[in-house]
Structure 1
Amino acid sequence: MLSILGNTHRFCDRLHRRNFLQIGAFGAGLTLTDMLRHQAKAAEQKNRPTRQKSAIMIYLPGGPSHMDMYDLKPNAPAEFRGEFKPIKTNVPGIEICEHMPMQARMADKFSLIRSLVAVDEHSDSQVMTGYSEAINRVASHPSFGSVISKLRSGTSDIPPFVSLRGMSVGNEPGYLGVAHKAFSPDGPGLRNLQVQSNVNLDRLDDRKSLLTSFDSIRREVDTGSTMKGMDAFAGRAFDMISSGHVRKALDLTQEDPRVRDRYKGVEPFLTARRLVEAGVGCVTLSYGSWDTHSGNFKTLKTQLPNLDRGLANLIQDLHDRGMEDDVVTVMWGEFGRTPKINTTDAGRDHWSPVMSAFVAGGGLKMGQVIGSSSDRGERPKDRPLRVPQVLCTLYQAMGIDPALTFPNGAGRPMYILDDRDPINELI
């Protein structure tokens, strides 16, 4: 049994959040290279795309400070600029925080957006679905990963969507149904599907047949879509257990000890890389707690170097494996932090008028900064952008038309995104 545990976080809304992943007994897996080779052969016969890209979506819960990471203001008054200093990167004209030196040495491999306008919600809903939590309470739009699951389900027993951060509002499948929830071995429908040591594959097949017979009885009682969705979700879990294509990716002991040492303390970044290498379509993960109403600089001095190491190693590994165009990575939070430091607790509070985002890979244009904020980091100065525009660009990088529609619970066709203007500088 392999467990990946994050820290318990309490934000200013007093809610606790814990990242948790528990892995059961799964078997050895294919590499991304193997997957692409098999897909290329299948495409010759079935006339479908020869390559499928993957996405890694990194969420920094609580709202990371744009002013202290990617958009420092060294010429602003002291009560705005804070304690940290900017450092040069390997791209002339681009500077980032001094506590992220590894990223500074590889700025040609990522792009920054400094003019994103967010909403004031302690929720990942907007950055994962393109819609605020307030809207999703009624409309139930699906997460980015659930859309990937919908489009790729049935093509492989490798899960299309894996969450290394448990379930959340933004990770939900919405009107696409429970069949497209993120795969998490501790999640609903999967807790009892771990293979015991005395159960071989023949007995597992017998259990699956028995489950199917029970399902036929249940469907006579429940003719709705929920039961069918759970059937599909459980069936995928059975397939993963019996074929075992994900165990090798999730078992970090299979990794070179020197690589594990590079990721010590930030292992979810390594797990994400191994999952997309195995062919998973979308992986979500989170790191740290960024709700720094007090002790902003004390907290960031600890968190930023570790985040820098995890992220830089991930991006470099993807390049070293020739996967930089096959995997698109995005990192952001729900909003920025107040440009002016509060006087009571040396913290920064919620700030939705502007925030920053990190984007890498996927065949997009790297080594640039898109947009800027005002001299004190209070508002977009030029090129104001919206979160759905980033998601639209990510969908396009994945080869997915953001104008696709799926029927909602009432049968009404719904666009993946209503706001479908891509960020042309990235394409």
Structure 2
Amino acid sequence: MQRRQFLVASGLGVAGLSFGRPVTAAPASKEERSSRKAKSTILFFLCGGSSHIDMWDMKPKAPLEYRGPFQPIQTSAPGVTLCEHLPMLAQQAHHLAIVNSVGATVNTNDHHAGYYYNLTGHIPDQSFITLGNNRTPFPDDWPFMGSVTASKLSQHPNLPNAITLPHMPSRAPYTRPGQFAARIGVEQDPLYVNGSLEEPLKFQAPSLSLEGGITAERMTTRFSLLNEVDSARRQFEGSTSMETLTLHQQRALSLILSSQATKAFNVSEESPKLQERYGKTINGMGLLLARRLVEAEVPFITVFWKGDSRRLAKKCRSAGSWDTHGNNFKCLEDDLLPEFDRGFSALIEDLSDRGLLDQTLLLVSSEMGRKPKIGDPRSGGAVGAGRDHWTHCLSNVLAGGGIRGGQTYGASDRYAEYPLDHPVTPANIAGTVYHSMGVSDLMATDKLGRPYHLLEDGDPITALF
């Protein structure tokens, strides 16, 4: 098969080889593997910037222009309250650890930098200011925490160590930085699995489909032929780029020929009752697929919330996700919170019922919170009832993977504007993920043999465990 076909088959044709500069990241030692509290991590990323003050860090004593109309409710964990529009999740709060003191200030206060900081744990550099929305992913970016985790663990026999679904945010050319392996090499990029709003039960990994009448047997033969007759490949044998290409080819072939890989992506095998419990939306089914991938022992699964711009763009003055510039409260109450509540509570319940929660770390994050003072100029100010971007404070939620449930950690000030007690950063959140997954060696080596640290400031929040 041609090189281009293998790149498409690997699921990385969109990302492109230019996103990475291959380096060496040593696999985890026996001691590190034995310290693992979690075998898998599921990152549920609420694209757009979810409102911390309306979900997790409510301020019922703040003035109305801050707190809004929502009320907190009691949960299954004494002393832990959630928004009244998260009733299903409230019954699972004894599994949750809510971190209300994440300070993730970025100078641009925008999505690109927010993604980068919260996905990598590294403060965005000056290029995010100078380039703005034109700041595409760079080859020397700091790597996504999922790619770091994937690079440090033993390779899964049939599937990639990192899988992302149901889309790659955001639509090109505005692809969000921070979700790729970057400087540790494109071979550590996640496999992207696509899903659609129209067919939420159908997930497609390009690696799992063959076109034009090509059978698995014929593909195996062509792969052998490629090794024998590709003179261009022989000319560049041993080069870094060709080593990377070979890894992509081998991964693509392994995925196509693996019945276990094909089976893992088939959420239609789940009972109709369980599908309804998760909610038959692309996000609900994405979480159900994530649970199946946990059962298949994939180390890192990311579910990026997929918004419905057709229904919500005009209503919420956004692209249809959590970027509620207008009509914040109706968008949350009618659309976003019910879908999130059903899907995420089902994931916790399902993993717990199957005895998988203790070995699975769950992390809910976003690129930012929402501005506590109600009123966004782009939707008419206070009358538009929107909340603007707010990177200065947000909440992260963790469960499973050795986390002690039924607790809150840290606190924001009285208006939820800035961290006040036990402040942490996205670096600490990433460090907490590594700690749970038993990744303590965060050294890597670049292609010139120079060692460097992947997250120097990422001390884990050990009090959560």
What is the TM-score with the length of structure 1 in the denominator?
0.83
Cα deviation for residue 155 of structure 1 reads 4.6
Residue-pair matches, total: 382
Q: 1:192 to 1:315 in 2, by over 3 A?
A: closer
Instruction: Pick from 81, 86, 92 the counterpart of residue 72 of structure 2.
Output: 86
Cα deviation for residue 415 of structure 1 reads 1.5
Q: In the alignment, residue 172 of structure 1 is paired with which amino acid?
A: F
Q: Does 1:267 align with 2:258?
A: no
Q: Does 1:329 align with 2:337?
A: no
Question: Aligned with 1:217: secondary structure?
Answer: helix
Match of 1:285 in 2: 303
Q: In the alignment, residue 83 of structure 2 is paired with which amino acid?
A: C
Question: Aligned with 1:134: secondary structure?
Answer: coil
Match of 1:170 in 2: 178
Q: 1:239 to 1:215 in 2, by over 3 A?
A: farther
Q: Which runs of 5+ in 1 are unaligned?
A: 1-21, 25-45
**Two-structure CA RMSD over aligned residues (Å):** 2.6
Match of 1:232 in 2: 247
Map 1:298-309 → 2, pairs under 5 A: 298-301=330-333, 302-309=335-342
Q: 1:410 to 1:82 in 2, by over 3 A?
A: farther
Cα deviation for residue 137 of structure 1 reads 4.6
Map 1:145-156 → 2, pairs under 5 A: 145-152=146-153, 154-156=155-157
Report the Cα distance in structure 2 between the residues aligned to 1:104 and 1:408, rounded to whole angstroms. 46
Map 1:36-55 → 2, pairs under 5 A: 49=33, 53-55=39-41
Cα deviation for residue 312 of structure 1 reads 0.4
Amino-acid identity (%): 38
Map 1:35-74 → 2, pairs under 5 A: 49=33, 53-74=39-60
Report the Cα distance in structure 2 between the residues aligned to 1:320 and 1:344, rounded to whole angstroms. 45
Cα deviation for residue 121 of structure 1 reads 3.4
Are the counterparts in 2 of residues 388 and 419 from structure 1 also a CA contact under 8 Å? yes
Are the counterparts in 2 of residues 91 and 367 from structure 1 also a CA contact under 8 Å? yes
Looking at secondary structure, tell me which structure has more strand per residue. Answer: 1
Q: 1:344 to 1:106 in 2, by over 3 A?
A: same
Map 1:304-383 → 2, pairs under 5 A: 304-342=337-375, 343-383=382-422
Report the Cα distance in structure 2 between the residues aligned to 1:132 and 1:420, rounded to whole angstroms. 12
Q: In the alignment, residue 227 of structure 1 is paired with which amino acid?
A: M
Report the Cα distance in structure 2 between the residues aligned to 1:363 and 1:414, rounded to whole angstroms. 29
Q: In the alignment, residue 306 of structure 1 is paired with which amino acid?
A: E
Instruction: Pick from 323, 326, 333 the counterpart of residue 294 of structure 1.
Output: 326
Q: Which runs of 5+ in 2 are unaligned?
A: 1-8, 12-29, 127-136, 169-175, 196-204, 308-320, 376-381
Are the counterparts in 1 of residues 208 and 255 from structure 2 also a CA contact under 8 Å? no
Q: Does 1:396 align with 2:387?
A: no
Question: Aligned with 1:162: secondary structure?
Answer: strand
Are the counterparts in 2 of residues 23 and 186 from structure 1 also a CA contact under 8 Å? no
Are the counterparts in 2 of residues 219 and 227 from structure 1 also a CA contact under 8 Å? no
Q: In the alignment, residue 322 of structure 1 is paired with which amino acid?
A: G
Match of 1:40 in 2: none
Match of 2:461 in 1: 423
Cα deviation for residue 216 of structure 1 reads 6.3
